Copies of this chain bind each other. A is one copy, B any other.
Amino acid sequence: MSSIHTIYEELCTFVRQTAMIESIQELLGWDERTMMPPAAGEYRAEQMTYLAGWVHQRRTDPRLGGWLNELTGSSLDSDAHSPSAATIRELRRDYEKSCKLPQSLVEQLTRACVLGQQIWTQARKDNDFRSFQPHLQQIFRLKLQQAEAIGYQDQPYDALLDDFEPHARTADVADVLTGLKDQLTPLVATLVDSPRQPDASLLQRRYPIADQQAFGRQVAESIGFDFQRGRLDVTAHPFCAGLGPHDCRITTRYHEHEFPMAFFGILHEAGHGLYDQGLPPEHYGLPPGSYLSLGIHESQSRLWENAVGRSRSFWQHYFPHAQQRFPEALSGVVLDDFHFAVNQVRPSLIRVEADEATYNLHIIIRFELELALLTGDLPVGDLPGAWREKYRETLGIEPPDDADGVLQDIHWSAGLIGYFPTYTLGNLYAAQFYHQADTDLGGIEDMLARGEFAPLLEWLRRHIHAKGRCYSAAELVVDVTGRSLASQPLLDQLRGKYLPLYQG
């Protein structure tokens, strides 16, 4: 008995130390993107590669296997959702996956992805897909090798998807996304064809950056982001990074004549940040203190950005504040017009700028393409053409060039294959969670209209954040909402908001 506890402590201490090195990696990455002088990049890559090698070595340390063998099936492993059982189960899963990857493949992938991102950056700048093509081919080839090394049940994509959305299966994801697409496409068509359209130009008036910063910070703080345990900075590509149990840093970007970009960017990243800050710090570095999946992480950002931040109730409370903060842009504007403007639906070329409804169509395109690239059904050389075709089919528009087409996202160049669907999974989880919270709390809208965010945050803390990785995402959704993940709640939410807006 005591010996099992001693082994468990040894395991946890070792894993916490690995997490500490990973938290240092996070700092290196955050600094690289926010603060680092330009010429320091090469050495930073060396520092990060060195730490990555060290982490991989620790993640495959045979002692882990020994401890986990002793612990599996022990008294600490009996109650499936307890912190200790989750720790044993999830660490075992991670360990077995890590051990299947040969060191040489890890190194090849690291190099290919570092190089891939550099080449991609230049190719995007030059609008030159062909210079990127061989590197992308190499990356897909290596990722297929990774999938083969790890193993899978139905298809190689399963193994890659699992890195971002553990336990998820390609076939299930495809089912949900196809169902969503089938109903989303006519909905978007209805909205786009409606004679009633918002005047979104009012969001392109002058919004001084210092005021955007102050307003964004104020709202982030009032939804519960703790600046004692976090920061907000500026980067070209917004992100949220956890650098320790009490150190969560979010970023955004500002444009003086573009209100939604920074504001909803802050809400989005603060949503990620609230999840990070809500994970139990006493379990930091262990599965019960870690986020569950990228889909669940994204559900938190989307919930705050869209279900909360683009609701009429939210602006009922905040629009007067916004008018005070931005008198030049907003005096004379009425709440309903502003609310309609921040909910404009319009097919567009760039994923990160897409609205809440069409966003998922961008994701579905990427999911279908990367699946075909991985199986080899689509040769990498044919990708730009396939991209244009998908956009024409799905969104009715076509990119004028590859820079704003197939080269717009960093993901593939960085080896993040199987990542895209987690964005839409996040939207689906968010809608289902929000619906449940609304039921449990007896109506959230009134709270939002009063600027009261604590009950919703408390609900999320209790039902999602506090659980870390003690459940799988599929289990969590059932546990919290009583049903499996489905596309209906999101479709209901979108219809419930957009049809009244667009049909007046």
Contacts and interface: CB of A to CB of B under 8 A. Distances in A.
Interface stretch (A243-251, A318-326, A352-360): A243-251
B228 A47 contact: no
B40 A247 contact: yes
Interface string A1-18: 000000000000000010
A31 interface: yes
17 contacts: A17-B50, A20-B46, A23-B43, A27-B28, A35-B231, A37-B228, A39-B228, A39-B246, A40-B229, A40-B243, A40-B246, A40-B247, A42-B246, A43-B244, A43-B245, A43-B284, A47-B244
Nearest to A48: B24
Given A37-B229, A37-B246, A39-B247, 13 more contacts: A17-B50, A20-B46, A20-B50, A24-B24, A24-B51, A27-B28, A35-B35, A37-B227, A37-B228, A37-B230, A40-B244, A40-B246, A43-B244
A230 B37 CA distance: 5
A27 B31 contact: yes
A47 B20 contact: yes
Interface in A25-74: 27-28, 31, 35-40, 42-44, 46-47, 50-51
A404 to B, nearest CB: 30
Contacts of A40: 229, 243-244, 246-247
Interface of A: 17, 20, 23-24, 27-28, 31, 35-40, 42-44, 46-47, 50-51, 226-231, 243-247, 249, 284
Nearest to A36: B247
Nearest to A51: B24
A250 to B, nearest CB: 11
A170 to B, nearest CB: 38
Contacts of A46: 20
Contacts of A39: 226, 228-229, 246-247
A388 to B, nearest CB: 39
A118 to B, nearest CB: 17
A38 B24 CA distance: 17
A24 to B, nearest CB: 6
A-B pairs with lowest CB-CB distance, top 9: A40-B247, A43-B244, A39-B246, A39-B229, A39-B228, A40-B246, A38-B228, A40-B244, A37-B230
A47 B35 contact: no
Nearest to A226: B39
Contacts of A42: 246
A38 to B, nearest CB: 5
Contacts of A43: 23, 244-247, 284
